[in-house]
Structure 1
Amino acid sequence: MSASTILLIFMWIFAIAFIIILFKDVKAHKQELDKAKLGFNSIISLIANFFDTLGIGSYAIATSAWKFNKSISDDLIPGTLNVAFAIPICVEATITMTRISVDPLTLVLMIGSAILGSILGAKIISRMDIMKIRVIMGIALLIVAAVTLCKINSIGPFGMVGTARGLSGAMLVIGVIGNFILGILMTAGIGLYAPCMALILLLGMSTDVAFPIMMGSCAFLCPACGITFIKEGKYQRGATIPMLIAGSIGVLIAGFIVTSLPLTLLTYLVCIVMVICAALFFHDAKKQKK
């Protein structure tokens, strides 16, 4: 049995445990569920996870949509991202990890370090006040926009073409530490995909190797940090389960029905929206401070 298969088995055991915890929490608070704009949030989840499967990322798309429409409170956005998108990302990981080969040790250690980082990050973010979260979300969107622009224009590490399917020695240590940091940042709304791909390319690995590593990392770390957000009650309970279902449908459509789209123009548009949304977060934080 391959390392990828073993990881997938553990991933889905963990995912089932996560779903049980989520359902118990939602049921325990069923009298206070906020179902406002439920349809909008579900559609956004489907769209965001659809494009996530194609490599654009889901966090920035969903964050921008929720911010513009005010459908989810700013302080609940980080938790909702990690809780509602946990299972769709597990579906993504199942698709990519069964299709692309990668060195088992590299895969296991980089995924493990991302999990540890996310658990630490979730504890920090879930206890922050709304003003700090708004500032962090604004910074996160600007970082993601910059990295995404570098990605689609092959700037910096994205212009490099590696061939390695794994790491060893000092390079493996750097990769593990780097993914640990990205695991922390993901809980604050900085999507792991583009930064993880940049890290992998900088270390000389093949571009396709990024997909099982980054999607596998997210598939483990989202439920891991999501449990923390659930226990703290820092997520949108009323919309999470419908978004989880809609997001999984979006992944399946992208993974098995749509194999490719002309995404460059759309990605530029998403970057513009991210910058505007970041400005809104900063504006609201400044207004609250006054």
Structure 2
Amino acid sequence: MATILLVVLGALTIYFLSYFIKDIYRNRNNLGKGNYVISMIIGFITDFLDTLGIGCFAPTTLAFKLTKYLKSDALLPGTLNIAHSIPVILEAFIFIRVVEVSPVTLISLVIAAIIGSFVGSRTVVKLPEKKVQMIMGIALIITAVLMILKQQGLLDALGKDNTALGLTGIRLVIGIVGNFIFGALMSAGVGLYAPCMAMVALLGLNPLVAFPIMMGSCAGLMPVASVEYIKVGEYSRKAAIGITLGGIVGVVIAATLVKSMNLEILMWVIIVVIIYTGISMLIQSLKGKEEVMEV
């Protein structure tokens, strides 16, 4: 059944690329402002971190804010989903093949996330910039809190001694509902990794099982959500191209170096700046006058 899931993810990749490439070609003479070198560096770093389970949405949001890459925060959800789709799909292919997990659990949770993203993306594209800023601000702070819990070993403690490789009964239902919600939120730019990791541990699964579930979920939902953003043009094309290219390289390198890396200090630096970024976005969302970020 894992092979079937990989075939489905392959089909979704083709579906996504057919829209993405067509949109880039159609707008080839007007791809907007942005720097390919900067976006490739951002993609390399954030998808490197993503492969290690840190997540890519919050670090990418941070990078965009620091470099003032986007002209508007309203472009964040679409850019995040479109830019990281291919690198995350590559991650999914790697982890689904090497980590053992119940096929029923894996496929059920991935499908739930995909449906959630489809519902969520059709709502988020209609939101004004202030609403997106508020959602992203709250999401970043929640993400930082979950990252702190993980750094302190509290999330790991939830899954300590867990050996189950699959869910059944009411636990499976809870997992499906949870991943549906996470999928819907991810279409708004809220990372799925941390909440999914916490849910997997709470439901009694081996924490390692979170990797194929969360990466498979993202690989399935991101192409679906991305197409909705591509249709309305709500994303930075240059950022998406650069991050995709840099991200692929980051994933390949991270997959080979993950066992020898010490990310303790880096994680705390990221947490501090993510909190700062989240608070800044909340403040912007509460201001009366619409502010537009410079490119």
Offset, 1:257:
4.1
Give aligned-pair identity as a percent.
41
Unaligned regions of 5+ residues in structure 1, if any? none
2:60 to 59, 62, 71: 62
Shift of 1:158: 4.4
- CA distance in 1: counterparts of 2:13 and 2:155, whole angstroms: 36
Q: Say if 2:44 is the partner of 1:40.
A: no
Which residue of the other structure, out of 22, 43, 54, is the alignment partner of 1:24?
22
CA distance in 2, matches of 1:156, 1:43: 30
Give the residue type in structure 2 aligned to 1:67.
Answer: K
Aligned to 1:118: 117
Q: How many residues align?
A: 288
Question: Could you tell me whether the CA contact under 8 Å between 1:84 and 1:243 is conserved in 2?
Answer: yes
2:90–2:248 Cα contact (<8 Å) kept: yes
Distance in 2, matches of 1:289 and 1:239, equals: 26
Q: Name the CA distance, whole Å, in 2 between partners of 1:288 and 1:20.
A: 40
Contact 1:175 1:199 in 2 (8 A): yes
Letter in 1 for 2:23: D
Match of 2:293 in 1: none
Deviation beyond 4 Å, 4+ runs, structure 1: none
Structure 1 residue 160: Cα displacement: 3.0
1:229 aligns with 229
Aligned to 1:79: 78
Structure 1 position 283, deviation (Å): 2.5
Please report how far the alpha carbon of residue 9 of structure 1 lies from its aligned counterpart in structure 2 after TM superposition.
1.6
TM-score (norm 2): 0.94
Query: Equivalences for 1:132-211 in 2 at 5 Å?
Result: 132-155=131-154, 158-161=157-160, 162-211=162-211
Q: For residues 141-181 of structure 1, give each alpha carbon's deviation from its aligned partner in whole angstroms, at most 9, with x where no partner exists.
A: 00100011111212257433211000011110000000000
| Structure 1 residue identity aligned to 2:164 | A
Q: Offset at 1:36? A: 2.0
Provide the secondary structure at the position in 2 that maps to 1:259.
Answer: helix
- What residue is the counterpart of 1:99 in the other structure? 98
Q: Deviations over 1:226-263 (max 9, x none)?
A: 11111121111123122211111100010124433111
The worse-fitting range, judged by mean Cα deviation, of 157-166 and 121-130 is 157-166
Residue identity opposite 1:93 in structure 2: A
The CA deviation at 1:85 is 0.2
1:104-151 CA deviation, whole Å, 9 max, x = no partner?
110110000000111111111111111111111101100100011111
Q: Distance in 2 between matches of 1:239 and 1:207?
A: 33
Greater mean alpha carbon deviation, residues 112-121 or residues 7-16: 7-16
- For residues 137 and 188 of structure 2, the distance between their equivalents in structure 1, rounded to whole angstroms, comes to 10
State the superposition RMSD in angstroms: 1.4
Structure 1 residues 221 and 158, CA, compared in 2 at 3 Å: closer, same or farther?
A: farther
Q: In structure 1, what residue type is equivalent to 2:212?
A: P
Give the conservation status (yes or no) of the 8 Å contact 1:143–1:190. Answer: no
| Residues 150 and 158, structure 1, Cα contact 8 Å, conserved in 2 | no
Conservation of the 8 A alpha-carbon contact between 1:26 and 1:238: no
SS of residue paired to 1:127: coil
Q: Shift of residue 287 of structure 1? A: 3.0
- Contact 1:131 1:288 (C-alpha < 8 Å) held by counterparts: no
Displacement after TM superposition at 1:60 (Å)? 0.6
**Alpha-carbon deviation of 1:101?**
0.9
Contact 1:35 1:239 in 2 (8 A): no
| 1:250 partnered with 2:242 | no
- How far residue 41 of structure 1 moved from its aligned partner, in angstroms, is 1.5
Distance 1:224 1:60 in 2: 20
- 8 Å contact kept, 1:76–1:234: yes
